[in-house]
Amino acid sequence: MGRLLALAAGRMGYHTHIYCPEADCPASFVARHHTCAAYDDTAALDAFAEQVDVATFEFENVPAKTALRLAEKGVVRPSWKALEIAQDRAKEKTFFTDIGAATAPWKPIHSLADLKAALKSIDTPAILKTTRLGYDGKGQVRINDKSEAEAAWASLTANQTGVRGPEPFAILEGFVKFTKEISVIAARGLDGTVECFEPVENVHKNHVLHTTAAPAHLSSATAKTALSIAERAAEALDLVGIVAVEMFVTSYGGVLVNEMAPRPHNSGHWTLDACPTDQFTQLIRAICGLPLGDTVRHSNAVMSNLLGDEILDLDKYYADPAYQVYVYGKTEARPGRKMGHVTRLSKKNNELNSC
């Protein structure tokens, strides 16, 4: 994400400075400057803040305290508060409830006793999820029967040390019957203008995004609801930047929010080739105080992630001119790791769920 953001900024004439604890992070190879330091290195953070006009983040597991430190210097967009909400599943669920968006049934969990009590009102199967630092299926345990509560709790807390604070450690989330998974990316500028990319349909395998198809095949009412949720989220966060909202569509056309990410999102990579303004350029526009760009899709698109060793099999994609190929420059191809993606374009349908 950082690499693609730096490339977008470079096309617009901006110089980029990457702050990352990894010495060989992919973004550093296309940026003008790179600070390799820990996220809790306050001296390095302060020096970084002095050298940039605006800072943003490419994933939501940057510590909120790091973003707050930079926010005190007046350089962070979106706000550190948006990051804090997205990092905590309980806060995230509460946020969407507060703006009138439906979610799957859930309960905050502090202890095993809480979990057993929650299972009396939330039917199994259910998912026990840590409130923080869970993504791509990490930090989750499926509970198929109430008798599995103790084993699930032990599994989730096995590697936890230290004293937990007053916030819930986990949430219990009920299963929902859905027909498809969709997402919408909304951008909000410094002047409060909001622009959305249209809803897209996502397919996951082993909890990792496999493909994204644009457009999603939805009724106009369902598309309108999804767009409204993303727009309301951007406004309620007082966002200057972009936010991706992942949602479930039910059999009756209803929309349930799953989670959000106030940053570029894997399900938005299709915009690099199928829209006049892609999600990365849109974020740069927003945080730099420029007018937002045109988000209307000009082609159909299917984006496919290249995971792990799949990055070694690029010849078939390069041989087909319909594919656009992106290689991220990561040094190690671990199983399930996103190493790149390909996007196949096709002629646009007459129907369009527009923003």
**3.40.50.450, 3.40.50.20, 3.40.710.10, 3.90.1150.10: CATH of 2-86:** 3.40.50.20
**What value, to the nearest 5°, has the Cα angle with vertex 240 and ends 239 and 245?**
50
Query: Which pLDDT value is given to residue 354?
Result: 43
Instruction: Give every CB contact of residue 141 below 8 A, 6+ residues apart in sequence.
Output: 127, 128, 129, 152, 155, 156
Instruction: Give every CB contact of residue 111 below 8 A, 6+ residues apart in sequence.
Output: 169
pLDDT digits (tens, 9 = 90+) for 211-231: 999 999 999 999 999 999 999
Query: Which pLDDT value is given to residue 349?
Result: 66
Query: Which pLDDT value is given to residue 81?
Result: 84
Instruction: Give every CB contact of residue 333 below 8 A, 6+ residues apart in sequence.
Output: 308, 309, 311, 312, 339
For residue 343, the tally of other CB atoms under 10 A from its CB is 23
Query: Which pLDDT value is given to residue 342?
Result: 97
Q: Are 74 and 94 in contact (CB under 8 A)?
A: no
Give how far the C-alpha of residue 297 lies from the chain's centroid of Cα atoms, to the nearest Å.
Answer: 20
**3.30.470.20, 3.40.50.1220, 3.30.160.20, 3.40.50.300: CATH of 178-346:** 3.30.470.20
CA distances from 36 to 17, 19, 48, 184, 322 (A): 11, 6, 10, 33, 38
Query: Which pLDDT value is given to residue 162?
Result: 47
Q: Are 248 and 176 in contact (CB under 8 A)?
A: yes
Query: Which pLDDT value is given to residue 161?
Result: 55
| Domain limits, the chain | 2-86, 105-174, 178-346
Query: Which pLDDT value is given to residue 355?
Result: 43
Structure tokens of 302?
Answer: 């299917």
Residues (pLDDT < 50) of the chain are 162-163, 352-355
Q: Hey, what CATH topology would domain 105-174 get?
A: Dna Ligase; domain 1 (3.30.1490)
Instruction: Report the candidate in 53, 29, 54, 34 with the shortest Cα–Cα distance to residue 44.
Output: 34
Tell me which long-range contacts 260-263 makes (C-beta under 8 A, separation of at least 24): 260/86, 260/92, 260/96, 260/233, 261/59, 261/60, 261/86, 262/60, 262/78, 262/82, 262/83, 262/86, 262/237, 263/1, 263/56, 263/57, 263/58, 263/59, 263/60, 263/78
Distance from C-alpha of 67 to C-alpha of 80, rounded to nearest angstrom: 5
Query: Which pLDDT value is given to residue 137?
Result: 58
Query: Which pLDDT value is given to residue 85?
Result: 92
Query: Which pLDDT value is given to residue 353?
Result: 47
Distance from C-alpha of 345 to C-alpha of 19, rounded to nearest angstrom: 34
pLDDT digits (tens, 9 = 90+) for 279-316: 999 999 999 999 999 999 999 999 999 999 999 989 99
